Amino acid sequence: MSLPALLLAIPLLWASPPPDRTVAKGLRARVEALYRDLQTPVMRLRPDTARVSDSLECRCAAATWSLSRDGGDRPGGSEVLRLVWMSSDGSALRRDILPVRVERRELVPVARRRLGSGQMLDSADLRWEWRRDDRRAQAPPRREELPGRRLARGVGPGQELASSHLQPPYLVRRGDRVRLRLGRGGAHLSGDGLALEDGVAGRRIRVQGPFGSVIRGLVQPDSTLRIE
């Protein structure tokens, strides 16, 4: 190629369109918004976005992108976010992984004083505090489910009360009218009785039958008693 022809070709090379590319901007704000939407009145989340790049480029003809997280309904600790680049027809072109650390604080019940095993809880026994624990696997007990519950084991003053500290809730209380179910072979009979004891699911309690006799029944999850 002669020198004049080469000089004419150079502007054409510079003017050629760049390869298709898409830039995801404002990633830090999107990460913060994602965890803000996951918050509840009893759970606060604060992602550490210092190591998250605020923009990311995909050398592809993506029309849009989306951001989502892996995991269950209890965010916290080391999390993985997925950035998916999608074409105009909605198909995924590429996936990027964004690691992020998330601080979780929850509103938890704390014992005001020493509470012994078997003690029935009262609202005066507890105070509520925001505490950080990114590894707490189980949600703390709810405020409305604690009054009247009994402790399965004791807790000390200032100790957080977990669901494992509580006895199962009573499904049948002494003096309740209960439905009795008797099944033998192919026959199934039912009737009403009077509970003589408190009962949780799976526990046998004494009950007064429809004819005045005292028998034992197994408390079912639907609060009926199965007579065997």
Q: Are residues 91 and 24 in the same domain?
A: yes
The pLDDT of residue 15 is: 43
Residue 215: CB partners within 8 Å, gap ≥ 6?
Answer: 193, 206, 207, 209, 227
Cα–Cα distance measured from residue 182 to residue 166, given in angstroms and rounded to the nearest whole number: 31
Give the model confidence (pLDDT) of 95-129 as tens digits.
Answer: 999 999 999 999 999 999 999 998 989 889 999 99
Closest CA to 162 of 137, 130, 144: 137
Q: Are residues 143 and 190 in the same domain?
A: no
Torsion of CA 202, 204, 210, 213, to 10 degrees: 170
The pLDDT of residue 228 is: 75
Residue range of the domain that includes 130: 105-165
**Of 87, 104, 121, which residue constitutes the final position of a domain?**
104
Other C-beta atoms within 10 Å of 4: how many?
Answer: 8
pTM of the model: 0.69
Tokens of 125: 């026994």
Question: Is 27 among the domain residues?
Answer: yes
CA distances from 180 to 39, 163, 175 (A): 44, 30, 14
Number of domains in the chain: 3
Question: Is 181 among the domain residues?
Answer: yes
Give the model confidence (pLDDT) of 139-182 as tens digits.
Answer: 899 998 888 888 999 999 999 999 889 988 888 888 889 888 88
Q: Are residues 58 and 92 in the same domain?
A: yes
Q: Are residues 26 and 78 in the same domain?
A: yes
- CATH number, residue 210: 2.30.30.760
Cα–Cα distance measured from residue 69 to residue 96, given in angstroms and rounded to the nearest whole number: 12
Q: Are residues 80 and 129 in the same domain?
A: no
Question: Is 110 among the domain residues?
Answer: yes
**Of 104, 120, 150, which residue constitutes the final position of a domain?**
104
Torsion of CA 199, 126, 160, 145, to 10 degrees: 40
3-state secondary structure of 113: coil
Q: Are residues 189 and 223 in the same domain?
A: yes
Q: Are residues 29 and 82 in the same domain?
A: yes
Does residue 106 come out as left (phi exceeding 0), alpha (psi in the -120 to 50 range) or beta? Answer: beta
